[in-house]
């Protein structure tokens, strides 16, 4: 790509990222900042957050009192009932579950854009041609669901014995049928998927208009940019795990540029040429205005380690000067910050990290560790930073209905 005619500063790109992510004031984000409880208005607000990103990544870890998909919503919507984050996928809602960034809940309007992936995943990316190897398992599973209705994976051991009805094989086949678009996920209960025939979950008006791959890539890349504000080609591709599609991605971005939907835009680099990237025209104007405002730094909020603002580690380092570390898979003795460490955002800075454990039976949220950025044992943290951290933890505890306790 030639040197972009437009260039923005790191500060502008950082604030734009937060604005598009719904993490600044509503006048900058166009998003709600509160959603009390878990009723209809709260659900509408949560769906608006989902629609902005184009995805809500799912994860099983709930040690901090809520899983990542609920944490992402709670960080944007003060007062939200965490239980709503577990029940966003419901029959009749404009949401479906599929492979987006990872396993995600996605806006229904993106279903046609993933036709290329459903075709590609007829051969499962992990297990190979599982459907070709076990056609009788796939046929009997589809017949059972057609006859009996939705089926949870935990209920798949209810008939038959060994052989084709082997539970491990059945669960894999169900996942393969979902990945290829023959089954869909109706809902989750206690985080367990409930599978149903795709025609009973996805409206025919949506299923009947699959997009060619070129158009699907354009839709996905533009949606990713809407969520990020400014982004490199690599970040846009990684948003949807678009692998081995360099030519298609290049052509899609060129088409979007020709349509006037995006502009090439460099990010300032004091050590050399600007980092090449992309921006929407409206966001270029917004970035210029955001650079001149001064976000408050004393109202902190906790972010999931899988938050859309954080998962791209290189981008997080570039925009925030923050090394996003995920230590779940490290032995306890090798962890620096903690098992499931949540960064604290204050204003437009990531100022600390906390490792929390919700102990519901005891009614408390335990702070296992707290690390301020740039920790220096000779200096106390800035008062505004301390208040931001206190507020972030207190807000999270209030949403969970727990009392805050520090480790003795």
Residue 93 above 80 pLDDT? yes
Residue 376 above 80 pLDDT? no
Q: Quick one: pLDDT band at residue 272, thresholds 50, 70, 90?
A: confident
pLDDT in tens, 236-270: 999 999 999 999 999 999 999 999 999 999 999 88
State how far the Cα of 66 lies from the Cα of 80, in Å rounded to an integer.
Answer: 12
Do 96 and 194 form a contact (C-beta atoms < 8 A)? Answer: no
Greater pLDDT, 221 or 333:
221
Q: Quick one: pLDDT band at residue 156, thresholds 50, 70, 90?
A: confident
* Surface-to-core class of residue 276, CB atoms within 10 Å of its CB (0-12 exposed, 13-18 middle, 19+ buried): middle
Q: What is the mean pLDDT of residues 306-320?
A: 96
CA-angle at 50, arms to 404 and 313, nearest 5°: 70
Residue 14 above 60 pLDDT? yes
Residue 165 above 70 pLDDT? no
Q: Quick one: pLDDT band at residue 151, thresholds 50, 70, 90?
A: very high
Q: How far is CA 234 from CA 130, 195, 312, in A?
A: 31, 33, 10
Q: What is the mean pLDDT of residues 96-111?
A: 97
Residue 111 above 80 pLDDT? yes
State how far the Cα of 57 lies from the Cα of 97, in Å rounded to an integer.
Answer: 10
Residue 294 above 90 pLDDT? no
Which residue do the tokens 């727990």 mark?
402
Residue 202 above 90 pLDDT? yes
Please tell me the predicted confidence (pLDDT) of residue 169.
Answer: 85
Interstrand relation of 103-107 and 151-152 (parallel, antiparallel or unpaired):
unpaired
Q: What are phi and psi of 128, to 5 degrees?
A: 75, -150
Interstrand relation of 78-80 and 278-279 (parallel, antiparallel or unpaired):
unpaired
Do 238 and 312 form a contact (C-beta atoms < 8 A)? Answer: yes
Please tell me the predicted confidence (pLDDT) of residue 192.
Answer: 92
Which residue do the tokens 């335990």 mark?
366
Sequence-separated (6 or more) residues with CB below 8 Å from residue 324: 305, 310, 311, 313, 316, 317, 343
pLDDT in tens, 32-55: 998 887 799 999 999 999 999 999
Residue 360 above 60 pLDDT? yes
Which residue do the tokens 């998962």 mark?
311
Q: Quick one: pLDDT band at residue 3, thresholds 50, 70, 90?
A: very low
Joined together, the tokens standing for residue 328 give 């779940």
Greater pLDDT, 228 or 406:
228
Sequence-separated (6 or more) residues with CB below 8 Å from residue 25: 33, 295
Strand, helix or coil for residue 263: strand
Residue 109 above 60 pLDDT? yes
Please tell me the predicted confidence (pLDDT) of residue 118.
Answer: 97
State how far the Cα of 51 lies from the Cα of 44, in Å rounded to an integer.
Answer: 10
Q: Which helix (H) or strand (E) holds 132?
A: helix 130-133
Residue 164 above 60 pLDDT? no
Average pLDDT in the chain: 91
Which residue do the tokens 């094989």 mark?
169
State how far the Cα of 55 lies from the Cα of 73, in Å rounded to an integer.
Answer: 12
State how far the Cα of 400 lies from the Cα of 119, in Å rounded to an integer.
Answer: 41
State how far the Cα of 52 lies from the Cα of 77, in Å rounded to an integer.
Answer: 14
Which residue do the tokens 């949807």 mark?
240
Q: Quick one: pLDDT band at residue 375, thresholds 50, 70, 90?
A: low
Instruction: Determine what percent of the chain is predicted with pLDDT higher than 70.
Output: 93
Please tell me the predicted confidence (pLDDT) of residue 166.
Answer: 53
State how far the Cα of 194 lies from the Cα of 376, in Å rounded to an integer.
Answer: 50
Q: How far is CA 70 from CA 66, 85, 103, in A?
A: 6, 4, 14
Residue 167 above 80 pLDDT? no
Residue 26 above 50 pLDDT? yes
Strand, helix or coil for residue 316: helix
Instruction: Determine what percent of the chain is predicted with pLDDT higher than 90.
Output: 81
Q: What is the mean pLDDT of residues 281-286?
A: 97
Least confident of 309-313, 327-331, 365-369, 373-377: 373-377
Closest Cα partner for 21 from 219, 326, 261, 304? 304
Residue 162 above 90 pLDDT? no
Joined together, the tokens standing for residue 274 give 């600007």
Greater pLDDT, 125 or 288:
288
Joined together, the tokens standing for residue 104 give 């995600």
Helices marked H in 26-159 = 26-29, 40-53, 68-76, 115-120, 130-133, 135-148
Q: What is the mean pLDDT of residues 388-408?
A: 90
Count Cβ atoms below 10 Å from residue 191 Cβ, excluding itself: 12
Do 342 and 305 form a contact (C-beta atoms < 8 A)? Answer: yes
Please tell me the predicted confidence (pLDDT) of residue 158.
Answer: 44
Do 131 and 180 form a contact (C-beta atoms < 8 A)? Answer: yes
CA-angle at 273, arms to 270 and 276, nearest 5°: 115
């Amino acid at each position: 790509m030639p040197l972009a005619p437009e260039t923005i500063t790191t500060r502008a790109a950082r604030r734009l990222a937060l604005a598009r992510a719904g993490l600044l004031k509503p006048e900058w984000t166009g998003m709600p900042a509160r959603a009390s409880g878990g009723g209809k208005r709260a659900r509408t607000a949560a769906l608006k957050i989902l629609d902005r990103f184009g995805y809500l990544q799912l994860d099983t870890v709930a040690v901090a009192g809520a899983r990542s998909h609920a944490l992402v919503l709670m960080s944007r919507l003060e007062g939200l009932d965490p239980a709503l984050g577990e029940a966003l996928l419901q029959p009749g809602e404009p949401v479906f579950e599929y492979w987006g960034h990872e396993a995600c809940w996605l806006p229904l309007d993106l279903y046609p854009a993933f036709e290329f992936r459903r075709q590609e995943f007829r051969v499962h990316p992990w297990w190979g041609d599982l459907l070709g190897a076990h056609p009788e398992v796939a046929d009997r599973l589809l017949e059972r669901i057609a006859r009996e209705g939705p089926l949870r994976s935990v209920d798949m051991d209810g008939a038959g014995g060994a052989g084709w009805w082997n539970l491990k094989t059945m669960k894999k086949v169900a996942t393969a049928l979902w990945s290829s678009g023959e089954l869909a996920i109706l809902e989750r209960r206690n985080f367990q998927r409930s599978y149903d025939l795709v025609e009973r979950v996805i409206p025919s008006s949506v299923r009947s208009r699959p997009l060619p791959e070129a158009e699907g890539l354009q839709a996905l890349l533009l949606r990713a940019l809407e969520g990020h504000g400014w982004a490199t080609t690599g970040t846009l591709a990684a948003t949807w795990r678009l692998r081995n599609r360099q030519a298609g991605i290049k052509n899609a971005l060129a088409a979007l540029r020709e349509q006037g939907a995006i502009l090439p835009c460099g990010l300032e680099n004091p050590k050399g040429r600007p980092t090449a990237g992309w921006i929407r025209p409206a966001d270029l104007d917004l970035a210029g205005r955001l650079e001149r405002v001064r976000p408050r730094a004393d109202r902190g909020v906790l972010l999931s380690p899988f938050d859309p603002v954080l998962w791209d580690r290189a981008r997080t380092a570039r925009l925030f000067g923050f090394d996003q570390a995920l230590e779940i898979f490290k032995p306890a003795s090798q962890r620096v910050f903690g098992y499931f460490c949540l960064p604290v955002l204050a204003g437009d800075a990531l100022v600390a990290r906390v490792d929390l454990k919700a102990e519901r039976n005891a009614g408390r949220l335990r702070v296992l560790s707290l690390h301020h950025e740039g920790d220096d044992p000779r200096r106390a943290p800035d008062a505004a930073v301390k208040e931001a951290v206190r507020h972030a933890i207190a807000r999270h505890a209030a949403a969970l209905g727990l009392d805050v306790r520090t480790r003795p």
